[in-house]
Amino acid sequence: MLRTHVHQSNSVVNLLPLGTPFITGHSSSSSSFSTTICRQVLVKKRRCGSIQYKPSNIKANVNSTSVGKFTTVKGVINVQPTITGALASVTVGLIGTVQDCVYDLFGKPFLLELVSVDLDSSGKEKETIKAYASYDGVDNESKLQKYKCEFKVPYDFGDIGALLIENEHHKETYIKNIVLDNGNVIFSCESWVHSKHENTDKRIFFTDKSYLPSETPVGLKSLREKDLESLRGNGKGERKTFERIYDYDTYNDIGDPETDANLSRPVLGGEQHPYPRRCRTGREMTSKEAWSESRTGGIFYVPRDEDFSEIKEISFGATTLYSVLNGIIPMLESALTDSNRGFSLFRDIESLYNDGIGIDLPNNGLLSVLTRLLRAITNTAESILQFETPRIKDRDPFSWYRDEEFCRQTLAGLNPYSIQLVTEWPLMSKLDPEVYGPPESSITKEIVEQEIEGFMTLEEALEQKKLFLLDYHDLLLPYVNKVREIEGTTLYGSRTLMFLTSTGTLRPLAIELTRPPSDGKPQWKHVYTPCWDATGAWLWKLAKAHVLAHDSGYHQLVSHWLRTHGATEPYIIATNRHLSKMHPIQRLLCPHLRYTMQINSLARLALINAGGTIDTSFSLRKYAMTLSSDAYAQHWRFDHEALPADLISRGMAVEDESAPHGLKLTIEDYPFANDGLVLWDAIKQWATTYINHYYSQPSLIESDKELQAWWTEIRTVGHGDKKDQPWWPQLKTQQDLVKIVTTIMWVSSGHHSAVNFGQYDFAGYFPNRPTIARIKMPNEDPTVEEWEAFINKPEDVLLDSFPTQIQATRVMSVLAVLSSHSPDEEYIGTNMEPAWAAEPTIKAAFEEFSCRLKELEAIIDSRNHDPNLRNRSGAGLVPYQLLKPFSEPGLTGKGVPYSISI
């Protein structure tokens, strides 16, 4: 068993705190901190489509009691009880608690105002109809708190189009919905409503009827703009936790120079380091660096409705991630006291799953939180933390060792976004040869033809599209010398060449590792090939470990973080700043944009920050996020984020109208592409029907001021460092909008799922995908002692190349959480948004969309049982099911949520 004696105080921070930290309210900095941390821990995903929609004409005079010239309209506010509210109600001495209880029992805790869609006879907005709501108990079935109200509405009031609400409580309240007239008028709120004591502005809610700006009823026009203005803010001051303001800032908070000068990091975003923008928080700058935002206080603002709502029960995903980052990892680091200690034997790695690590686990509920991910056995003396056996190791313990699996995972593994067709020969670097050395690759025609001898010539292989490449040469080479200055790691630029066999599988031909000139030494590069002698075979295995570390870093920093999490945050900000809640495109995108800003803020807190998991445990170390910026500057294009365009850009497909999905794949058995294109087409068809329903002609697109402002701001501000690029799509026609919207929907669902939910299956057993290579190749300028050590015990050199015990277990803990589905996951095509159900055409289109996703489930199952598809079916293989739309909770290796929610 891999363990260390631990001496740890029982005063470990309680990760699921009770008492004061749960209290909702913002009267002091300490309460603000406690509330925000609690929200990061105690979370429950909102289901906007959980209320059954009842069609109506949204009139005030239906099924109501008539009194004189007025109609009596009854209403009910349904409030979701929160953990913070429940605890506050039984805690003594908390500001506002007594007053709120009095309000609920005897007072009028909510003031509501109905807004007509019409103007009065003088052309002015009609006066609102006001009513107070009083507490009416808890519904036994839904467990929602109910507040009833009654309006006296004039006969000539017209249709109800909006509602204003003022929360008289001293704390915010989570309102699920407001139902009027026995369900004939429903406001699907799903939102936190601030206390009037924090902000005197009334909250605005619109009905489920969607309107383009030009079609907005006259009585709602000013309210529509006012609501958007409230979300934009003025770009000044530090944001408060109860606010709902969306604005932009650079990534100027991933460094922490106030804690340690070594934790200083450059600002990402701007001319020097281009990057997408994040949500502005407005915190003070550090005293050490005027350009770095302070991280003191530990809270990261996100607009209130982007914060997970802590309702009903503790949400599995974010709670567990927070617990791992702030509980398990510190305990592992305490137990594994030698930060540089690696694994002496492969059975030490096996013990992580079979025996576990002895830790001091505080009795604070953490154990129960983690049991879905980590097998933890508790006895009277200590707690033994065990990791679940990853599926790849469980099915075939030696698959990581084999060349065919190494190649297969480029098509059906964790990072299917890097492999590309070789179209030019020789392979050449685009870097400055004066700085980085000769640009020609050492993978020569002779080496290639030696490896494919008897099959074809190099020229024939190129012509027949048989050669494929993983190319991390130019992206990594500028970092090699800088990374090598850091103790305990090394780096190369790399190229990996593969050959497509007649069976449709890939076979590795060569790996080239390159070190640029340094300290008077010339460029060093070497080509490794699969060998039949012992020394060459071990060098080949070590070279593969280096390439896998490169691919792991690129996957996490580019394919995963940058292209999904980072690139999507500007879409969320612009959508809330410019598309009204009643805009049809806002309502189409809403489920795809939920929860992402909250999980991104948690990533900035402890994953991508200086000293975080990626910074300490991946090959690039402190340069990781800078490399992510380089990838954005050199390679990211919005138009290539669409799956078909991505495949074409990498030479993995060509347009062919006669082929399925209009594309002919270069490798026919490419599981990610085959499944992804079915999902892409389903999303595109759903978006097409939806958009054509609201935009019957191109002029409606061009005249939609909100839509045009939204797309302009995404290009010029959210991705402003790329604003002058010619490849940005125009927004003039329905087809333009379909392309843009489908891309955003795909990135947040299919793309993210393909690179996220298989992380533990493929990388939980880290020899299959090490995140770092700690020592150089044995044949790179070796000393006599280094070479003899390799010749005498090559296995030790491989083990020394792998991550340390702390690095491995830290990454494994995080990947276990990131790969898991919450019990309340919102899978694509499952929940019908109320606004969609309000329109029969949209409702029917969504039902068709759902059916197509169920068909995709069956298609993937059929493909995984087809023995002719050798890249997804075979002895010991993990079947490719990452794009199966639906899943059970936990570590399943399948399931496509609407949004980037973990």
The residues that are catalytic are 560, 565, 752, 756, 902
Type of residue found at 66: S
SS (H, E, C) 698-767: HHHHHCCHHHHHHHHHHHHHHCHHHCCCCCCCCCCCHHHHHHHHHHHHHHHHHHHHHHHCCHHHHHCCCC
Query: For residue 265, which of 533, 567, 611 has the smallest C-alpha distance?
Result: 611
Rounded CA separation 236/247 (Å): 10
SS3 152: strand
Rounded CA separation 381/363 (Å): 13
Type of residue found at 818: L
Query: For residue 821, which of 750, 886, 749 has the smallest C-alpha distance?
Result: 886
Would you say 412 and 789 are in contact if contact means Cβ atoms under 8 Å apart?
no
Contacts of 613 (CB under 8 A, 6+ apart): 325, 329, 606, 607, 810, 811, 814
User: What is the arrangement of strands in the sheet containing 506-515, beginning at the earlier edge strand?
Assistant: 420-421, 467-471, 493-500, 506-515, 524-528
Contacts of 249 (CB under 8 A, 6+ apart): 269, 277, 278, 279, 280, 281, 293
Type of residue found at 383: S
Q: What does each C-alpha distance from 53 to 113, 207, 340, 835, 844 come to in angstroms? A: 22, 11, 59, 8, 14
Would you say 744 and 899 are in contact if contact means Cβ atoms under 8 Å apart?
no
Task: Enumerate long-range contacts of 517-524, CB under 8 Å, 24 or more apart.
Answer: 517/435, 517/436, 517/437, 518/480, 518/481, 518/484, 521/781, 522/437, 523/436, 523/437, 523/438, 524/780, 524/781
Rounded CA separation 284/159 (Å): 47
Rounded CA separation 125/134 (Å): 28
Contacts of 344 (CB under 8 A, 6+ apart): 796, 799
Place of tokens 């805690």: 91
DSSP state letters, 809-856: HHHHHHHHHHTPBPTT--BTTTS--HHHHTSHHHHHHHHHHHHHHHHH
Q: What does each C-alpha distance from 194 to 23, 26, 94, 170 come to in angstroms? A: 14, 11, 18, 9
Residue 200, token pair as written in the block: 């005197």
SS3 84: helix
Query: For residue 506, which of 602, 412, 633, 618 has the smallest C-alpha distance?
Result: 412
Q: Is the dihedral of CA 488, 494, 499, 504 positive or negative?
A: positive
Rounded CA separation 197/24 (Å): 13
SS3 55: coil
Would you say 901 and 594 are in contact if contact means Cβ atoms under 8 Å apart?
yes
Rounded CA separation 359/755 (Å): 31
Residue 748, token pair as written in the block: 């947040």
Contacts of 318 (CB under 8 A, 6+ apart): 40, 41, 43, 308, 598, 599, 602, 902
